[in-house]
Amino acid sequence: MSPDNKGIKVTNWASIANAPFPAEGAGNQTFSNLQLISVVAGIPAFLLIYFHFGIWTYPFLVILVGLPCFAGFFVINSKFATPWNNKVQLPNRKIEEYITIKDPTLAGYQGRNKIPMEIFFENYFDGKIDLNGDALEIMEARHDWASFEFGLGQLKFFLTQWIPETIWHSKKQDEDQVRDHYDRGDDFYEAFLGPRMVYTSGIVSDPARCETLEEIQDNKLRLVCEKIHLKKGERLLDIGCGWGTLVAHAAKNFDVDATGVTLGIKQTAYANNRIKEYGVKNPEQARVLCLDYRDIPARPKFNKITCLEMAEHVGVRLFQSFLLQVKDLMEDDGLFFLQIAGLRRTWQYEDFIWGLFMAKYIFPGADASCPLYWVINQLETAGFEVQDVDTIGVHYSATIWRWYHNWMKNRDTITEKYGKR
């Protein structure tokens, strides 16, 4: 950490893109559950008394009026809540210095009139807004030019898509969403994941050195195998194995019998090819199956099970039954390694805006992105004894920074083939 003139200490590690304005937005520190309950329960109660409706109408009024009140409460709070204990001094520049708005209907966003983030990204994707410089630098200064209030588009997405999908999570839904996303094209993913094709956080081993993406992903593969104490001859299952790199790595370097499972058809072909390319001694000892996790054959059991950022796709509703299934698939003395991306408990409105953005554009159907305490509670409820917990957010920052550089190098070729949106 080094002091600077912005009123806050910022980091200067070589391994990550150090945030110049680590601004903290408004969120749960100033949020009142009591106020929310008063609005959601109180307004229908007021209408009931005022119009002399019968008491039996109350549940209907809560659904009819309470839900819009719930949404309205978040919209108003996200618009007017002030950041809590925020010492970061932002540059205070005009919005025009960061972005160029080409659509006249958005002309009101000028000077210090910040643009809501959702309006920005939707119009940016539509080509109606340009960035005046490097995307990462502009996004680092986002609190200077954008506001984080809920808009109608995200509310509609939340009510009509996110909630039904979260409740449903059928095999068909998951298959459609996963294939539509991960089977877009291997070259699309190679453009930013690089040759390792690992679509989860890597691990930095030395913050003072700018390790390559390949180094930090190799560190991660090593660490996962170390954490599960992988030994020759064991049976390993990797649930949601992506392009199969962990399966191939484990089979080659630890001489284990490794099975990967993914829903992606192209991923499966790529992964089985990867096993061959890696020169696994006996080709019979590793394979990747195209299966829904619910259809993994229960016997014979596995000694070790890994699941790297797939459990988000399982969803909140099915999370506990997923963990019970994992427990059943594993020998009594087995070890389970779970890597999961979540939201912080000390939430900010910004987190929900990005959460809904992720659900729409990055990880459709991945609604089990919950705070750490929730995941641990679920694991313990399923009967797991939690041995070791690491929070690797800063390693993710290092990983995404490298994905970003790869993407910028390959952007033109990929947009030419796949289009801009």
Ligand X SMILES: C[S@@+](CC[C@H](N)C(=O)[O-])C[C@H]1O[C@@H](n2cnc3c(N)ncnc32)[C@H](O)[C@@H]1O
Instruction: Give the binding site for ligand X (CB under 6 A).
Output: 174, 178, 182, 198-200, 240-242, 261-264, 267, 292-293, 308-310, 313
Residue number, 69 or 251, with CB nearest to ligand X: 251
- Give the span between the Cα atoms of 306 and 240, in whole angstroms: 9
Q: How far is the CB of 7 from ligand X (least distance, A)?
A: 37
Whole-angstrom CA distances from 287 to 274, 283, 299 are 10, 8, 16
CA distances from 283 to 21, 35, 255, 268, 270 (A): 51, 62, 11, 15, 15
Write out the H or E segment, with its range, that includes residue 15.
none
CB of 4 to ligand X, least distance (A): 36
Place of tokens 């992720």: 358
Which parts of 257-400 are beta strand (E)? 257-262, 286-290, 302-308, 330-339
Q: How far is the CB of 302 from ligand X (least distance, A)?
A: 15
CA pair distance 39, 30, nearest whole angstrom: 16
Q: Shortest approach of ligand X to residue 351 CB, angstroms? A: 19
Q: Which amino acid is at 340?
A: I
Closest Cα to residue 267, out of 357, 188, 340? Answer: 188
CB of 263 to ligand X, least distance (A): 4
Q: What is the full DSSP assignment across 35-74?
A: HHHHHHHHHHHHHHHHTT--GGGHHHHIIIIIHHHHHHHH
- Beta-sheet pairing, 286-290 with 257-262: parallel
CB 235 within 8 A of CB 342: no
- CB nearer to ligand X: pick between 199 and 349: 199
- The torsion of the CA quartet 179, 361, 238, 165, rounded to 10 degrees, works out to -80
Q: How far apart are CA 38 and CA 32, in angstroms?
A: 10
CA dihedral 323, 328, 331, 334 (to 10 degrees): 0
Please, which residue, 116 or 240, has the CB nearer to ligand X? 240
**81 vs 247, which CB is nearer to ligand X?**
247
Beta strands 257-262 and 99-101 are unpaired
* Minimal distance, residue 339 CB to ligand X, in Å: 7
User: Cβ distance 106 to 123 under 8 Å?
Assistant: yes
The secondary structure element, H or E, covering residue 309 is none
Instruction: Give the separation between CA 119 and CA 135, rounded to whole angstroms.
Output: 17
Of 99 and 308, nearer to ligand X (C-beta) is 308
Q: Which is nearer to ligand X, 154 or 262 (CB)?
A: 262
Q: Residue 406 CB, nearest distance to ligand X (Å)? A: 15
Q: How far is the CB of 289 from ligand X (least distance, A)?
A: 9
Q: How far is the CB of 367 from ligand X (least distance, A)?
A: 12
**Token code pair at residue 25:** 């937005």
Closest distance to ligand X from the beta carbon of 391 (Å): 18
